[in-house]
Structures are given as structure tokens and as C-alpha cells.
């Protein structure tokens, strides 16, 4: 913890030029995306397991507060991806290391150049949606949902701390001799680079579908074509949107399930391993360090199981009907139900 405070104060004091700021922004953007990802995988799983709540989650995504967050999220991903590609490229080109400072500056410039048109396109979707005078989720509802996530997170951390304390009573925490970086860590170092490279097209493809070509608001647009399929969202319900995408077959393969599954596995392992680096940098007390490592490892595994479970289960007819009931829609929707 003291290390975290020192990092913050020294980051502000130390004049390490642009390289220092790239490190800070890379870390902060990575952490911001991980936080979003954890919430996002949980609420996407509701499309399969808890459709009433999924409608509320998407409704909150469409509120002005979340819209601001989405602009920040997109900027964070663009910066993290560009800077990550710089790190990967230069890691394998030591003879170019004297150009690090220049490269870090180019990354900031390139990020700004990409952000301007992307934000412009996102703003067009926002303006169209707000022009129709929609009903937004209230701030009270948003705080209510998000505080439940926060309480859940605090409980998980407290349970991990207690278990780690009990573990130290039984197994002891005597200092071990410093080990050389393990084989797993060396492998993870390479994995961070390979996964980062593969995530670029997957995450930008996903964001293009959800933000740029169509927007977050099109998830609930009735009678609109569902992006990446030839189907129509007859009801304008978010579960139908997801159901259509997950059921869309190309040559007998549910391509969006495969796509989401790949994205899920890569971003969760990459993001949670990045989180592990941050935890190990700042928390050195053995009980706290072990507890936080457990939260990261088991939390990441739980997210992958939950997300893959939702992809395998898909959006069932019953889930769809529950969502229809909740929305109070009385027509029959033969197209989606395959009639
Ligand atoms: C606010 C911006 C975003 C929106 C509106 C959005 C929307 C969606 C939607 C509607 C789905 C359901 C499946 C589908 O239609 O393909 C989904 C799934 C998914 N998204 Fe996003 N997404 C956003 C940002 C992101 C980002 C930044 C990441 C990665 C860091 C991400 C990773 C995923 C993953 C892994 C799944 C599959 C989850 C599962 O298997 O349960 N999304 N997203
Ligand atoms: C878009 C493509 C991406 C690329 C090219 C990329 C690349 C990288 C690279 C090269 C590192 C440094 C690894 C190391 O120090 O060994 C890194 C760290 C990290 N990444 Fe990514 N990444 C990407 C997407 C993501 C996503 C989607 C997340 C969140 C789910 C994420 C979260 C993190 C975190 C938390 C760290 C650790 C930061 C630190 O130690 O300061 N990254 N990334």
C-alpha cells in the first residue's frame, strides 16, 4: 500500500518525460478496461441467465452517465492498443531503443488522430438517440445497481483476506529466498505480447459493431437489422439482439459465439494477468498479496466460466419470453422464434 502511495506522489514529482507518462497511461487504461470488462461479462451473461436484468443493464448503458464512460473507454482502448503495439514492436527490436521517446510521442499523436473521427461517429449515434427524447435510467437506479457490484467486490476481497490470513496461520509466511522468474512468468510475458497483438482486430471489430457502424442504442432499435447478421430485431429487445447474433450461422458455424469466445478468453487472461502485475507491484504484505492474487486468478477463471457458459447456453426461447413479459409487449414474434 505504501508503495502505491509512493508511486502516485513520485509520478507527480518525478520529471521522467514522456516515457513516464506512457507507462502511467498504459497502466491506468489497462486497469480501466479490466474494470469495465468484469462488469460487462457479468451483465452479458444475463442475456442468457437473467433476461429481466439484461434489459436494465442495457438501459443503463444508454444513459448519459454511461455514454460519457463509453467515450472514455474507447479512448482508453485506442491508447492502450497503440502503446501496447509500440511496446511489442520495440521489445523485439533492441537496436531501436534509442527511439523510445520519439515512438511514445507518436503513440500519443496517433491516438489523438484516431480518437477524433471515432468520437465524431459515436457522437452522431448519441445525437440521433437523444433527438428522439428517450427515457433514461435514473441516477438512483444506476447507483443502486453499481453499488451492488461494489458491495459484491468488497465482500470477495474481504473473504480472500480472511482465508489468506487463516492460510498463513496454518502454513506460515516465512520469507523464501528470492526465486528467478518462473517458467510460467516467462511464458506469460510472451502471452501478453501475442494476446495483445490478437486482441487488436477482435476488440476493434467488436467496438466497431457496438459503437461506430451501429451504436449502443441500436441494440434496442425495433425493426432494425442486427449488426453482423441478416436478421431483424423485431421486438427491439436487447435479448433478441444478442440471441440473433449468437444464433447466426455461417456455413453451420455460430460465428459470433466463436468470436465472442475468443475475445473473452484473450482479454480476460491478458487483462487479469496485467492486474496481477499491478497487484504484485504495490502489495507486498504476504497475506494481502496472496489474497489479491487469489482474487485475480479465481476472479478471472470465474469470468471465463460465466462468459463461456452464457455463450454455450445461448438465449433460450423462455429467456426471450421473460424479457417480452417484462417489457409488456403482447405481439408474437415468429421470426425470432423460428416460426
Ligand atoms: C460499451 C461498449 C460495449 C458494448 C455496447 C458491448 C456490447 C456487447 C454485446 C451486445 C455483447 C453480446 C454478444 C454479442 O452481441 O456479440 C457483448 C459481448 C462481449 N463483449 Fe462487449 N461491448 C462493449 C465493449 C466491450 C469491450 C471493450 C470488450 C473487451 C475488453 C468487450 C468484450 C466482450 C466479450 C468478451 C463478450 C462476450 C461475453 C460473454 O461471452 O458472455 N466488449 N458486448
Ligand atoms: C487492444 C490490444 C492490446 C494490446 C496490443 C495490449 C498490449 C499490452 C502490453 C504489450 C502490455 C505490457 C505487458 C508487460 O508488461 O509484460 C499490456 C499490459 C496490460 N494490459 Fe494490455 N493490451 C491490449 C488490450 C488490453 C485489454 C483489452 C485489457 C483489459 C481487459 C488490457 C489490460 C492490460 C493490463 C491491466 C496490463 C498491465 C499494465 C501494467 O503492468 O502496467 N490490455 N498490454
pLDDT > 90: what percent of the chain?
A: 71
Render pLDDT for 111-159 as a digit per residue (tens, 0 to 9): 999 999 999 999 999 999 999 888 888 999 999 989 999 999 999 999 9
CA distance 269 to 258: 17
Classify residue 223: in a domain, yes or no: yes
| Region 211-222 average pLDDT | 88
Q: What is the pLDDT of residue 7?
A: 64
Beta bridge partners of 233: 224
User: Strands 232-233 and 224-225: what pairing?
Assistant: antiparallel
C-alpha of residue 80 to centroid of ligand 1, in Å: 18
Angle made by CA atoms 101, 103, 107, in degrees to the nearest 5 = 115
Angle made by CA atoms 47, 49, 50, in degrees to the nearest 5 = 75
**Per-residue burial over 300-320, b = 16 or more CB atoms within 10 Å of its CB, e = otherwise:** beebbebbbebbeeebeeebb
C-alpha of residue 190 to centroid of ligand 2, in Å: 12
The model carries a pTM of 0.91
Classify residue 2: in a domain, yes or no: no
Write out the three cell numbers for 108. 500519443
Q: What is the pLDDT of residue 10?
A: 63
Q: What is the pLDDT of residue 174?
A: 66
The answer on pLDDT for 169 being more than 50 is yes
| Domain that includes residue 165, residue range | 16-130+148-171+184-337
Pocket of ligand 1 (CB under 6 A): 33, 37, 40-41, 44-45, 61, 70, 73, 77, 203, 206, 210, 216, 219, 242, 245, 256, 260, 263-264, 267, 307, 310-311
Classify residue 143: in a domain, yes or no: no
pLDDT > 70: what percent of the chain?
A: 89
Classify residue 7: in a domain, yes or no: no
Pocket of ligand 2 (CB under 6 A): 26-27, 30-31, 33-34, 37, 77, 80-81, 84-85, 87-88, 189, 192-193, 196, 199-200, 203, 267, 270-271, 274-275, 277-278
Nearest CA to ligand 1 atom 19: 260
**CATH code, 102:** 1.20.1300.10
The phi and psi torsions of 257 (rounded to 5 degrees) equal -70, -40
C-alpha of residue 80 to centroid of ligand 2, in Å: 7
**Structural domain count of the chain:** 1
Render pLDDT for 174-208 as a digit per residue (tens, 0 to 9): 666 556 668 889 999 999 999 999 999 999 999 99
Confidence category of residue 322, pLDDT binned at 50, 70, 90: confident
The answer on pLDDT for 72 being more than 60 is yes
CA distance 266 to 196: 8
**Three-class DSSP labels, 239-287:** HHHHHHHHHCEECCEEHHHHHHHHHHHHHHHHHHHHHHHHHHHHCCCHH
Give the range among 77-81, 112-116, 132-136, 161-165 with minimum mean pLDDT.
132-136
Largest separation between any pair of C-alpha atoms in the chain: 69
Q: Name the percent of the chain in helix, strand, coil, to the closest 5.
A: 80, 0, 20
| Region 56-69 average pLDDT | 93
Q: What is the pLDDT of residue 315?
A: 92
Nearest CA to ligand 2 atom 39: 27
Classify residue 5: in a domain, yes or no: no
The answer on pLDDT for 100 being more than 90 is no
Classify residue 291: in a domain, yes or no: yes
CA distance 37 to 76: 13
The answer on pLDDT for 218 being more than 60 is yes
Nearest CA to ligand 2 atom 7: 84
Render pLDDT for 220-262 as a digit per residue (tens, 0 to 9): 999 999 999 999 999 999 999 999 999 999 999 999 999 999 9
Residue with cell 435510467: 137
Q: What is the pLDDT of residue 13?
A: 59
C-alpha of residue 206 to centroid of ligand 1, in Å: 7
Confidence category of residue 87, pLDDT binned at 50, 70, 90: very high
The answer on pLDDT for 339 being more than 50 is no
Amino acid at each position: 500500500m505504501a508503495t502505491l502511495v509512493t508511486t502516485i506522489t513520485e509520478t507527480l514529482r518525478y520529471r521522467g518525460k514522456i516515457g513516464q507518462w506512457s507507462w502511467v497511461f498504459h497502466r491506468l487504461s489497462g486497469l480501466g478496461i479490466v474494470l469495465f470488462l468484469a462488469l460487462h461479462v457479468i451483465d452479458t451473461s444475463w442475456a442468457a441467465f437473467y433476461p429481466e436484468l439484461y434489459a436494465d443493464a442495457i438501459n443503463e448503458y444508454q444513459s448519459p452517465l454511461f455514454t460519457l464512460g463509453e467515450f472514455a473507454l474507447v479512448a482508453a482502448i485506442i491508447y492502450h492498443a497503440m502503446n501496447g503495439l509500440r511496446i511489442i514492436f520495440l521489445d523485439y527490436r533492441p537496436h531501436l531503443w534509442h527511439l523510445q521517446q520519439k515512438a511514445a510521442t507518436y503513440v500519443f499523436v496517433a491516438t489523438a488522430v484516431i480518437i477524433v473521427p471515432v468520437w465524431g461517429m459515436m457522437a452522431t449515434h448519441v445525437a440521433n438517440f437523444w433527438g428522439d427524447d428517450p427515457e433514461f435510467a435514473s441516477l438512483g437506479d444506476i447507483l443502486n445497481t453499481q453499488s451492488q457490484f461494489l458491495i459484491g467486490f468488497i465482500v470477495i476481497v474481504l473473504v480472500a483476506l480472511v482465508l489468506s490470513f487463516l492460510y498463513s496461520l496454518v502454513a506460515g509466511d516465512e520469507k523464501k529466498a528470492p526465486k528467478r522468474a518462473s517458467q510460467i512468468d516467462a511464458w506469460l510475458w510472451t502471452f501478453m505480447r501475442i494476446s495483445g497483438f490478437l486482441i487488436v482486430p477482435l476488440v476493434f471489430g467488436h467496438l466497431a459493431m457496438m459503437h461506430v457502424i451501429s451504436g449502443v442504442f441500436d441494440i434496442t432499435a425495433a425493426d432494425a437489422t442486427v449488426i453482423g447478421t441478416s436478421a431483424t430485431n423485431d421486438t427491439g429487445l436487447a435479448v433478441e439482439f444478442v440471441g440473433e447474433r449468437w444464433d447466426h450461422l455461417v456455413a453451420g458455424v455460430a460465428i459470433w459465439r466463436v468470436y465472442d469466445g475468443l475475445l473473452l478468453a484473450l482479454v480476460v487472461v491478458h487483462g487479469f494477468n496485467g492486474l496481477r502485475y499491478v497487484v504484485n507491484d504495490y502489495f507486498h504484505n504476504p497475506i494481502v498479496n496472496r489474497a489479491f492474487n487469489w482474487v485475480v486468478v479465481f476472479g478471472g477463471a470465474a469470468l471465463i466460466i460465466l462468459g463461456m457458459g452464457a455463450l454455450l447456453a445461448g438465449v433460450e426461447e423462455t429467456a426471450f419470453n421473460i424479457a417480452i413479459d417484462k417489457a409488456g409487449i403482447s405481439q408474437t414474434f415468429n421470426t425470432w422464434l423460428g416460426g
